[in-house]
Structure 1
Amino acid sequence: MKCKVVIILIILISGNQLLAQEILRKTDAITLALEHNFDIREAGNNSEIALNNADIKNSGFLPTVAASGSANFSSTNSENILNTGEVQSVTGVQTERYSASLGVNYTIYNGQSRKFNFKKLQESLNLSELQSRSIIENVVLNIFNVYYEVARLTQNEINQKETLDISRERLLRAKYSFDYGQNTQLDVLNAEVDYNNDSINYLNIIQELDNQKRNLNLFLGRDVNTPFSVDTTLTYDENLSLEEILANTMSNNVAILQQNGAYRNAEYDIKINSASNLPTVGLNTSYGWNQNNLGKTSIFDSQNQTALTYGASVSWNIFDGGLTSTRKQNSRISLENQKLSMDRLKLNLNRDVNNAWSVYQTALFVLKAEEKNLSTNERNFSRTSEQQSLGQITSLEFRQAQLNLLNAKLNYNQARYNAKNAELALLQLSGELMNGEY
């Protein structure tokens, strides 16, 4: 009864797996991620902020224009006593005052401080774009890791299903043989145990496969339960060389490029702080208008004035108590730290590339060895099957050959994707991940 329940459950799950599903190709996965992945979209927004900051309008190179205006109204009661004792009083005298002005200020020279501040803003934009690239590369690498895990489990499901079918056939044959008195109940029980174990392994693979598909959907920024199948074919880059990868890493690795940008910013800081010792020269001009309606108590009934003013200004921070000197010293030390960081980064990347190359070479060797091992086990299982059909071997010997073949398939499948993931790790270090073959 238990065996029948397992068979029904497997049939139901297998039926669901066979439903029409979209084939999610590797290029499709990358396209979806670039459009919908949350980390990539957030990085794009940060780059847009940096782009706004690097605009000429945020540099101090443009003049400033300010306008102002006012209107004031008053009602005045006054009482004046003359020397003769006569009292003159006036009530409710209305006065109105209007004014407006427009001013323009422009800094001609400030020791080139704004020039280097603007360069820092542009470098910050470059760093923001490099940060976006780093995020994209990490997301793409994660997507491929999960994609290839889905592909590996897909192939494992096929392999485990083949093993399960063989165990089912063996169980049926053992029952028929027992019914006709050709073997014992023990053979039937062994075959049933093996079938149940294979069923459990098959169900576990399906569950793990479904979980990994949800993980991939999450990276793609879509409904985690979206059904799909993947392309299990693999291509390898046969032209990789350690020397070329090291050269590309030192020139195109995103961390190297970011460190170069940080070094340039440290140089700009020195120049900005040095500019604090130089004078600032500016021009200014303004145009103003005033209209006063003074009322009956004034000599004049109204006044109307316009004025155009212009001039130049110079300011020079000759001594600020040593603050500028301290900033200059600290900026030189920061530049030295950036040099040290670059040297350390190059050593770390050199180590990482050599380690990744060793992993890659080992993975390729294991792949070839597992391919040979699989071929040997396939031949061995074929001969064992022939002997089993002739009754020349025991069920335990057949089972061992069956397990050997399954393990060989699983190990070869694992080796295929280990080699590909090792290749992708090298491509990321060299800055060529987005140009690789998938």
Structure 2
Amino acid sequence: MLFPSPIASFRSLLPTVALLLPLAAAAQQPGTPRTPNPGAQLDKPQTVAPAPALSLEEAVRIGLENNYGIRIAQRDEQIASNNVTRGNAGQLPTVNGNLTRTFTLNNVRQESSSRPEPSVASGARSNLFNTNVALTWTVFDGLGMFIAYDRLRALEAQQKQVTRNTVEQTVASITDAYYTVVRESGRIRAFEEALKVGQARIDLTQAQVDVGVAAKVELLTAQVDFNADRALLIQQQEALATAKVNLNNLLARAPETDLAPSDSIVVRQDLRKDEVVAGILQRNPQLQQARLGVDVAGYDRRLVTASRFPQVGVQGGYGLNRNVNGAAFFGNTLVTNTGRTLGFNYGVVASVPIFDGFNRRRLEQNARIAIEQSQLQLQQTELDLTSQAQQAFLQYQNRLQTLALEEDNIRLARQNVAITLERYRLGLLTPLVLREAQRNQLDAENRLLDARFLAKQAEVVLRQLSGTLVQQAPVEAK
């Protein structure tokens, strides 16, 4: 068998080398596009107009001050706090001032066996004036007034947990909306880098067409792909604008308010499952609210029991009564009688429940059922929260692993595009291979953004469940 000599092999490659030399020379001339450098994935997009910077901390502060859900919950907390008074529990006396003034106009006919003719008067006028100050004070009701006060305090504490839960949910929503803006902004950055690669492809293809080593159809294809990427960029800009509107809505700001997120997505990787579960049992507002619900149900039952005891109260007052009676006869003569009473009154009032149609027994039975129901709700809430923690922690671990893989993958995708673009510049690859590498990098960029976002979401859920998402008390209501 005869093998071709090295010189013969080289001669067979001469036509190909001759075609590539002009292209390689053109690629080295000044002004030839360089390989795009993607840089940091979350750099500021170049196609988005500058806007005031907004950090996550500032967004949370604005949300705590302005969010309508938080402000409504704070009003409910103020109402519950105002209800915690000794007077509302029935421990203080009540004092009322009363005033009565009446006028009468009567036609009077009076007959007597000692007088043959009746006495008649028309338009006889009388008036009554009565004023008094009355005091009523329950001094014993089976300790029901003290139980009622403790119940009011439990309701106040329960409402505080409702407010805290509202605050944490709002902060979680603001955090999610903020990082959504960051993710959509990062996607615009990815599309911008894809357009740089597309523009480099157009320039290189144009150079190939100019030297006659490529057909014009390849240039037209490159331009079509470039315009398709530009259309995707326009759609992504719309998605970014929508994300900003959603964030402004949570911050109770005008929807057209522009912003530029100054924080990137940084995922904590040190959360532990046992710490999350311990935080749920100690700080979770939903669980604390359910526990207080058991206390409230217990107070309700004790109030029903207290109603079986006698109730003892004291009452007193000071009053003035004046009666001017202009419809009285003295013999046959109509006269006016005036009476006046002024002085104190006081006494003790006792009430002993004897029979009320078995209503108290019915109320006690319902109260016991309500306690059992609240305990079941507490157990259900604890089970639900621990189940959510288990699922969230599994998601957290899986998403951290996915994030690590995507961070490695993005470096490979960027390196692949750089190599592919260089080989395309030398005419060693077809446009389809370059386009495929470009799409792979864009997909990798978007997957990395999604991986960061989803991992951060899992972290926020775990911190919210453990009650560590909001470290400070909410601001005062405006």
Give the drift of 1:316. Answer: 1.1
Larger Rg: 2
Q: Are residues 1:363 and 2:399 paired?
A: yes
Distance 1:84 1:329 in 2: 71
Aligned residue number for residue 101 of structure 1: 132
- Structure 2 residue aligned with 1:257, among 275, 285, 288? 288
What do the CA deviations read for 1:412-432 (whole angstroms, capped 9, x no partner)? 121111111110000011111
Of all paired residues, the percent bearing the same amino acid is 28
Contact 2:204-2:425 at 8 Å conserved across structures = no
SS at match of 1:433: coil
Cα distance in structure 1, aligned partners of 2:144 and 2:353: 14
Deviation of 1:94 after TM superposition, in Å, equals 4.8
2:322 counterpart SS class: strand
Change (3 A) 1:159 1:92: closer
Label 1:209 to 1:265 Cα distance change in 2 as closer, same or farther (>3 A).
Answer: same
**1:28 matched to 2:52:** no
The answer (yes or no) to whether the contact 2:59–2:251 under 8 Å persists in 1 is yes
Aligned match for 1:325, one of 357, 361, 365: 361
Distance in 1 of aligned mates of 2:110 and 2:264: 106
**Residue identity opposite 2:174 in structure 1:** I
Aligned to 1:269: 300
Cα deviation code 1:384-416 (max 9, x no counterpart)? 222222222222222222222222222112111
Residue identity in the other structure for 2:407? E
**Mapped pair 1:140 → 2:175:** no
Q: TM-score when scaled to structure 1?
A: 0.89
SS at match of 1:434: coil
Tell me which moved more, 144-153 or 177-186. 177-186
In the TM superposition, residue 151 of structure 1 has moved relative to its aligned partner by: 0.2
Q: Distance in 1 between matches of 2:121 and 2:359?
A: 62
8 Å contact kept, 1:253–1:430:
yes
CA apart distance, 1:84: 6.9
Q: Report the 3-state secondary structure (helix = DSSP H, G, I; strand = E; otherwise coil) of the residue aligned with 2:343.
A: strand
Structure 1 SS opposite 2:470: helix
AA aligned to 1:107 is T
CA contact (8 A) 1:152 1:232 kept: no
Is 1:97–1:292's contact at 8 Å kept on the other side of the alignment? yes
CA gap of 1:394–1:283, structure 2 versus 1, over 3 A, is: same
Partner of 2:390: 354
Q: Secondary structure at the match of 1:314?
A: strand
Letter in 1 for 2:142: G
Corresponding residue for 2:202? 171
Q: Structure 1 residues 86, 183: CA separation in 2 closer, same or farther (over 3 Å shift)?
A: closer
Q: Tell me whether 344-353 or 292-301 shows the greater mean CA deviation.
A: 292-301
SS in 2 for 1:385: helix
What per-residue deviation string (whole Å, max 9, x for no partner) do you get for residues 199-230 of structure 1?
Answer: 12111111111111111111111111111111
Query: Which residue does 1:197 correspond to in 2?
Result: 228
Say which SS state the counterpart of residue 57 (structure 1) adopts. Answer: coil
Aligned letter for 1:102?
V
Give deviations 1:228-270, integer Å, cap 9, x for gaps.
Answer: 1112423333432111111111121111101101100111112
**2-side partners of 1:143 and 1:162: how far apart?**
29
How is 1:404-419 mapped onto 2 (pairs within 5 angstroms)?
404-419=440-455
1:147-179 C-alpha deviation (Å, 9 max, x unpaired):
111100101101111111221232233234323
The answer to whether the aligner puts 1:216 opposite 2:247 as a matched pair is yes
Secondary structure at the aligned position of 2:103 is classed as strand
The residue aligned with 2:19 is none
Query: In structure 1, which of residues 408, 413, 425 is the aligned counterpart of residue 461 of structure 2?
Result: 425
Could you tell me how far apart the structure 2 residues matched to 1:91 and 1:339 are? 74
Which residue of structure 2 aligns with residue 158 of structure 1?
189
Corresponding residue for 2:259?
A: 228
Higher helix share: 1
**3-state SS of 2:151 partner:** helix
Q: Hey, what's the Cα distance between the residues in 2 that align with 1:193 and 1:150?
A: 29
Q: Work out which of the residue numbers 94, 99, 106 in structure 2 matches 1:64.
A: 94
Give the secondary structure class of the aligned counterpart of 1:435. coil
SS of structure 1 residue aligned to 2:410: helix
CA distance in 2, matches of 1:293, 1:34: 66
Q: Does 1:187 align with 2:218?
A: yes
How far residue 287 of structure 1 moved from its aligned partner, in angstroms, is 1.4
For residues 76-127 of structure 1, give each alpha carbon's deviation from its aligned partner in whole angstroms, at most 9, with x where no partner exists. 6667788576887767655443221111000001112222222222222222
1:300 offset after TM fit, Å?
7.5
Comparing 40-49 and 102-111, the one that deviates more: 40-49
Q: Give the drift of 1:304.
A: 2.1
The letter of the residue matching 2:149 is F
Q: Give the Å deviation of 1:303.
A: 2.6
Aligned amino acid, residue 121 of structure 1: L
SS in structure 2 at match of 1:17: coil
Tell me, in whole angstroms, the C-alpha distance in 1 between the residues paired with 2:433 and 2:118: 135
Aligned residues: 422
Change (3 A) 1:235 1:75: same
Amino acid aligned to 2:233 = Y
* 2:436 paired residue number: 400
Distance between the aligned counterparts of 1:303 and 1:362, measured in 2? 93
Distance in 1, matches of 2:71 and 2:193, equals 43
The 3-state SS of whatever aligns with 2:254 is: coil
**Distance in 2 between residues matched to 1:392 and 1:75, nearest whole Å:** 120
Q: Does 1:38 align with 2:68?
A: yes
CA gap of 1:16–1:381, structure 2 versus 1, over 3 A, is: closer
Alpha-carbon distance between aligned partners in 1 of 2:302 and 2:210, rounded to the nearest angstrom = 95
Q: Which residue of 2 aligns with 1:8?
A: none
Cα RMSD after superposing both structures? 2.4
Q: How many Å apart are 1:318 and its aligned residue?
A: 2.3
User: By how many angstroms is 1:15 displaced?
Assistant: 8.3
Equivalent position of 2:103 in the other structure: 73
Q: CA 1:300–1:307 in structure 2 vs 1: closer, same or farther (change >3 Å)? A: farther
Q: Which of 273, 280, 294 is equivalent to 2:311?
A: 280
CA distance in 1, matches of 2:242, 2:427: 42
Post-superposition CA distance 1:362-391 (Å, at most 9, x none): 111111111111112222222222222222
Residue segments in structure 1 that go unaligned for 5+ positions in a row: 1-13
Per-residue CA shift, 1:267-302, capped at 9, x if unaligned?
A: 111211111211101000011212234459567753
